[in-house]
Structure 1
Amino acid sequence: MTLAQHYTRFRVDERLLLTGHSHQAWPDVAREGLLEAYDDAALAVDQKWERAFARADRLRDGVRSLLGDPDAEVALGASTHDLVVRFLSALDLRGRPRLVTTGGEFHSARRQLDRLAEAGVEVVKVPAQPVATLSERLAAAVDGRTAAVVASSVLFETSQVVPGLAVVADACARHGAELLVDAYHQLGVVPLSLDDAGLASAWVVGGGYKYLQLGEGNCFLRLPDHTAGLRPVITGWYAEFGDLEHAAAGTVSYARGAARFAGSTYDPSSHYRASRVLDFFAEQGLTPPRLREVSLHQRGLLARAFDDLDLPDGVVTRDRETPADGFGGFLTLFAPEAATLQAALAERGVRTDSRGQHLRFGPAPYLTDDQLTAAMTTLGEVVRAARG
């Protein structure tokens, strides 16, 4: 019995879906969750929210488990961008008009920080390469004018794990700055314990659209313990729910804990879907260590199959210096014509992804070794056909 039998709607056993780093297939139970959301709305109408909030709490519990932080305060949002904006709006950018980030951030942070730079905020971009020294270089860029550092734990273009982020957390603590870690490309493929990683003082943002198979609308922001009193300027009326912190007369009140970063009325169907998928993962034993084991095997198989093709480095090559455990869940190939190769692969039924010169092969637990080998064999055929 293979895992693929639980993904019949996505037909994963019939298709070569190598976009697992961007959009993994959803198990069939995800559809059941969506139907349950409809049925609850039809049954309870406006009283559905008590049922919906229970699904949101299940998602928060799943996030806490993935972070190894059972008591974490977790805010939810439709996208990481929504949550990053609320985080940025809580910073004292007048008193500390400086943000530090990397040149390898995903667009949800990259574009927003670029726009803030246009508006006059000093944004320092530390080159993402070499990744081995990235944390040290980020830490060195933090000073007393820095409001926050925004950095990924796994780079979205290359799949490289960023080592030693604890030194960035320490630098932020010394200078009174915040650290926001984007763990989107880590969760579900590289185990994470915030305490073990030295990141207990960090904010963490991520979501379920990629390796967790939760689909859209399931993003989160984990708050560290020291954030009481921060008041995001971008705020929704849900932040007025619950136990309100004392506020001076004439000022806007906020709930305590993660509810301070809440938004407003949302589509709860995403949380129904997430609840079902989180339970499915538990039933199938798809724990972070098991998912890491599968990922290392699949990525290693793809890398070896690519090397066996013996293609010219000038056409397509890969990083052979970073050790296997220094990568997340996908294989990046470097190709000047990455988009062309991606299109040619798609014509032959192999779904991949490209960003600039990065051609990305993203496996998933429901794919077989034969499927991965077939996908890489097709790349060889594409390259050789293009070269005549």
Structure 2
Amino acid sequence: MESYKQYYRQFLGQHPGILHCSPHSHYYWPDVTRDAQLAYWNDSAAGADHKWDVIFGERIPNVQRLLAELLDHPYPEQFVFAANTHELLYRIISCFAPDQPLRILTTDGEFHSFSRQVQRLEERTGVHVTRIPCEPYDTFATRWQAALQAHEFDLIFTSQVFFNSGVQAPPLSDWLAAVPQRTQVVVDGYHGCGAIPTRLRDVADRIFYIAGSYKYLQAGEGCCFMAVPKSCALRPEYTGWFADFANLAKPRQATVGYADDGYRFAGATMDYTALYRLEAVLEWWRSIGLTVEQIHQRVQKLQLAFLSLLDEAQHPLIHRQALLRDEQRDHGHFFTFVLPSAEQTATVAAALREQGVDTDYRGNRLRFGFALYHDIADYQQLKKALEAI
């Protein structure tokens, strides 16, 4: 396989001797992002008060086009940006009147940005949340379908790839047609975007798709985005001046106005440095002809090599049988191992770190991720580490 290490010299050089197996948490940034960081400074210096003309007139439209191309989404103008996904999530929630009942369908495998927020919302009278357990994964699709048929919901929220397992959720094509039009559907794509080939063309009029640059898009924190359904007329109560940027200079109207595209869900002033970094990554992929399909195929080969090495190592805790799920056809870009206890998991992760293998864990689940800057030969370091602990 072709090596991509030459594109990550800056980050790899800062961590000599480390096998970074937690890109699902924080992907190393490729070298092109360093110049992008400076480009934001240069645009800010040259534009000063008028830098927004460049950001909104050139940079944002270009990144919108790049994301639309990446995700096969027909409406680039429907992408809106924020510093984090939670901000975008709460704008959707703020479209629902707080004095009216709110029924939500979700799973027990959602990231904290959603699960914490919804748990807090449940303290309100009239908020009802149905959580479908992800496990056992073999029956999840059936149980999800049953929940959809049992009730009508105001909001549905599910991940594309569950953050604590790496398992892909059932495809939208299996269940979206059964959802009433009045129901708002949100897909958390953070562990799918840039890792799993994703085509939103057929659902671009129907769903909100949320993701960001921190993980597989490799541009670091600070640039999250949401694809808003075409012709969406919702009016977020949690709103800021970016949400009607085109009319900023006009006299204030009696009714709060919103953009006619995805920017109706925008907030207010933010640092767009990360957007420049994301632009650089997506332009780099385009320049070398790298697609998500190719990335995914490469990672699947890395995963097979990883599993073969585990079979050789015969570690008592980290082995194929301890995997939560290893079927590649419905798996994301990290493996999750279930250990006997949270304490043992923390101990093993610390021991691996001492041996130069950097991973992460949640409770008793130890996670190993796969990245473009990995080569199959790198996993010999993991084998040696397993033999040492």
TM-score, with structure 1 as normaliser: 0.90
C-alpha displacement of 1:33: 0.5
Cα deviation, 1:329-368, whole Å, max 9, x if unaligned, reads 0111111222211111112211101011111111211111
**In 1, Cα distance between equivalents of 2:25 and 2:317:** 26
In structure 2, the partner of 1:60 is 64
Instruction: Select the residue among 133, 137, 142 that pairs with 2:139.
Output: 133
2:252 counterpart of 1:219: no
Aligned partners of 2:289 and 2:318: how far apart in 1? 42
1:119 aligns with 2:130: no
Partner of 1:16: 19
* 1:327 equivalent in structure 2: 331
Within 5 Å, give how 1:194-343 maps onto structure 2.
194-195=200-201, 201-227=206-232, 229-242=233-246, 250-312=254-316, 317-319=321-323, 322-335=326-339, 336=341, 337-343=344-350
2:94 corresponds in structure 1 to 89
User: Which runs of no fewer than 5 residues in structure 1 stay unpaired?
Assistant: 383-388
* CA–CA distance in structure 2, aligned partners of residues 315 and 192 of structure 1: 30
The equivalent position to 2:154 in structure 1, one of 142, 147, 161, is 147
How far is the alpha carbon of 1:138 from its aligned partner?
A: 2.7
1:165 deviates by 3.0
Q: For 1:240 and 1:328, locate their aligned partners in 2 and report how far apart those are by CA, in whole Å.
A: 37
CA displacement 1:190-231 (0-9 Å, x = unmatched): 1011246x675221111111011011111111112252x210
**Shift in Å, 1:77:** 0.8
Cα shift at 1:27: 1.1
Contact in 2 for aligned 1:332/1:358 (Cα 8 Å): yes
- CA shift at 1:80, angstroms? 0.7
Give how far 1:321 is off.
5.9
Cα 1:202–1:132 change in 2 (3 A) is: farther
Determine the structure 2 residue equivalent to 1:351.
358
Aligned-residue offset at 1:243 = 6.4
- Residue number among 30, 43, 46 corresponding to 2:46 in the alignment: 43
Q: Which runs of 5+ in 2 are unaligned?
A: none
Q: Distance in 1 between matches of 2:352 and 2:316?
A: 18
| Aligned-partner Cα distance in 1 for 2:265–2:94 | 10
Which stretch shows the higher mean deviation, 94-103 or 314-323? 314-323
SS of residue in 1 equivalent to 2:209: strand
Identity %: 34
- Match for residue 372 of structure 2 among 355, 365, 371: 365
Q: Distance in 1 between matches of 2:108 and 2:4?
A: 37
- Label 1:88 to 1:135 Cα distance change in 2 as closer, same or farther (>3 A): farther
Alignment of 1:164-175 (within 5 A): 164-173=171-180
The answer to whether the 8 Å contact 1:18/1:363 transfers is yes
CA contact (8 A) 1:93 1:147 kept: no
Question: Match for residue 386 of structure 1?
Answer: none
Whichever residue aligns with residue 194 of structure 2, its letter is G
Aligned partners of 1:134, 1:89: CA distance in 2, in Å?
Answer: 29
Match of 1:26 in 2: 29
User: 3-state DSSP class of the match of 2:118?
Assistant: helix
User: Larger deviation: 20-29 or 1-10?
Assistant: 1-10
Sort the Cα spacing of 1:126 and 1:188 in 2 relative to 1 into closer, same or farther, 3 A.
same
Structure 1 residue 178, shift from structure 2 partner: 1.4
Among 86, 108, 119, the alignment partner of 2:113 is: 108
**C-alpha separation between the residues in 2 aligned to 1:263 and 1:353?**
32
Q: Which moved more, 1:231-240 or 1:92-101?
A: 92-101
Aligned residue number for residue 190 of structure 1? 196
Paired letter, 2:88: L
Name the aligned partner's letter for residue 111 of structure 1: R
Cα deviation 1:298-319 (Å, max 9, x = unaligned): 1222122223222335999433
**CA distance in structure 2 between the aligned counterparts of 1:277 and 1:224, rounded to whole angstroms:** 25
Q: Following the alignment from structure 1 to structure 2, what is the Cα–Cα distance between the partners of residues 300 and 243?
A: 54
CA distance in 2, matches of 1:237, 1:314: 51
Calculate the aligned-residue CA RMSD, in Å: 2.4
Helix, strand or coil at the partner of 1:7: helix
Which secondary structure state, in structure 2, belongs to the residue aligned with residue 372 of structure 1?
Answer: helix
Aligned residue for 1:10, secondary structure, equals: helix
1:385 alignment partner in structure 2: none
